[in-house]
Each structure stands twice: as C-alpha cells, then as structure tokens.
Amino acid sequence: MNQLLIILGGTLILELILGDLQNPWYPVEFLKNIADRAGLKIRDYFGNSVTAGIIGWLLIVPVTVFSAWLLVKGVHWCFGVGELWLASLLVWSSISMRRLLQQTLSLIAPLRRGNLSVARRSLDEMTNFTTDKIISKDIIRYGIENIGVKLVGTVTSVFFWAILGWIIHGAAGAAAGAVFSRVVQVLEAQWGSRHGQYQKFGRFAVAVNHLTDWIPARLTAFAVAIAALPLGRCRIAFSMAWRHRRDFLSSNSSWIKAAFAGALSLTLGGPREYASGIKNYPYLGHSRAELKIADLKRAVRLAFFSVIIFLAFMILITVIFMT
C-alpha cells in the first residue's frame, strides 16, 4: 500500500509543480501527433470504416501500454530501485489536471474586460462545437461543463486505471493502467469527437473510451457530490446526477455535468451549435440560469477538491480490497 501512496503522491507533486509541459515531445502531445498521422495512413489504406478504426486502435493501444509496463519493469529488473518514481512520472504524464484548471481560469480575464473574441478562442481550444456567436453566459456555461467532462477523461479515469493496475501488477501495472486510460482518451479525441463523433473510423475509439470512463464517471459524480457537502448541496448534487443520468448521448457526461449543476446550484446543458448542426440538448437543473464569471472559479475549486475526494475514496476501496 505504501508503494501506491508514493506513486500517487509523486504524481500529484509533479502535477502541481510542473503541470503539462507544452512541447511536441511531451507524451500526450506526442501521442496526439502519432494518432493523427497513424489515422491518416490507416484510413488511406483501409478506408473510413469501423474495421479500419479497430485495426488502428489495436496497432496503437497495446503497444503503448506494453511499452509503459516494460519500461517500469525493466528499471526494476536492471537496477532494483527507481520503479516507483518512474511509475509516478508515467502517471503524471498521463493526467492533465493543472492544465484543465488553468484553461478554465483563462476565460476569466477576457470576460471581465468584455473581450468575447479572446474568450471564444480560448473556449474553442477546449471544445469541439461552434463558439463564434455565443455570448458571455454561454462561455461560462460551456467552460464549466468542459472542466466537468474532462475531469473524468484526463484526471480521475487515469487515476482509477492506475490504481487498478497497481492492484493487479504493482508499479508497472499502475504505469500501464494510467497510460491505457490516456491513450484511449487521446484516440477518442483525435479520431472520434474531433472529426465527427459518428464517423465510422472513430466509432470504435469512442465506444471503448465510453466503457473505460463508465465507472470513473459515476465515482467522480459521487466525489463532486461529497465535495459539495460544505455548501449544503451534497444530496442535491447526487439526486441531480441520478435524475439526468440519461439526458445526453453519453451517459458519462450526463452524470458529471448534472453533478456539477447540482453542486454549484446552476443550470447547465441546453442547445449548442456544432459544425454538423444544432444539437438540442436538455437543460440540467432548475437553479440560477444567469451564470457569473465567479462561477468559473467556483467550478475550479469544486473540480480540485473532487479529485482529492476521488483519490481518498479509491485508496479506501483499495485498502478494503487488499485486506
């Protein structure tokens, strides 16, 4: 158990100090480039089909995950020490908590100055829908929804699979689990959502990512509800998540968006415009619809404490399981 705490502690320290390193050789950015190039070549050779997407996924995910496992295991075999810190490094390079929080906070300054064009560009980098015509309150709404959804895909899901990997095979398993979760998320983003969620080539990547995040999404919604306890909105957040759990195409996003809406006493969701047309999503919650700039800071605080609670809950489950 001490090994897991060292890995998770090292990961959090690295994340809080360094965050994401913005260069093409940073693992996540490198994976995105590989996914883009591989996707183009595979589609050229096999066509834009579900089969091509499955082949591409199988060419990238197992190799990447096995490489992470072998790297940590190789350090243990060769040196006998250092595998825990290397595992921490690989888990850290798989999460994007600090970047996610900073991206959300980056919307505040242009909104306060009334510079909507800058705020729209910042939001456009985070989402895959049209931001050209949206107004201030919509920028705030979508920024809050974005932090909720990506909190699962880029943070809590990675921690979940890292902990599960540690239970199965120690430090090497933790590294492999974290890398697995993030590679799956990257392929969904590069092949699925970014190029049209219903295109045949990205369909398998989207489906696997949904399954990968299924349990973490619901545990994260639970953590959000617990984090809302000091606000007196724990029960409301959980009941909101349960009530709206099937309102979106992705039940994973339904759980987490509704939990955020309940915890923050806001109304989220609603119609939005994509390149393919307008999607009439339902509204989540019946609270304050006029969002304020300060709500972005509240969402960032809620996300941060939700991660801490999620980790504490996962560690407790692990202790119970191990005993």
In this structure, the strands spanning 268-269 and 283-284 are antiparallel
Average pLDDT for runs of 10 along the chain of length 323: 90 88 77 89 87 92 95 88 91 92 91 87 77 81 90 95 95 96 92 64 91 96 95 91 83 91 88 67 74 92 96 92 81
Assess contact for 237 and 220: CB atoms under 8 A: no
Quick one: DSSP state of residue 66?
H
Give the model's pLDDT for residue 276.
Answer: 61
Assess contact for 92 and 11: CB atoms under 8 A: yes
Look at residue 288 and give its three-state secondary structure: strand
Q: Which of 189, 180, 145, 181 is nearest to 35 (CA)?
A: 189
The C-alpha torsion from 10 through 316 and 225 to 187, rounded to 10°, is: 50
Give the chain's end-to-end CA distance (angstroms, integer). Answer: 10
Give the model's pLDDT for residue 289.
Answer: 66
* Residue pointed to by tokens 């190799």: 63
* Residue pointed to by tokens 């295109």: 199
| Backbone dihedral region for residue 181 (phi beyond 0: left; psi -120 to 50: alpha; all else: beta) | alpha
Give the model's pLDDT for residue 133.
Answer: 74
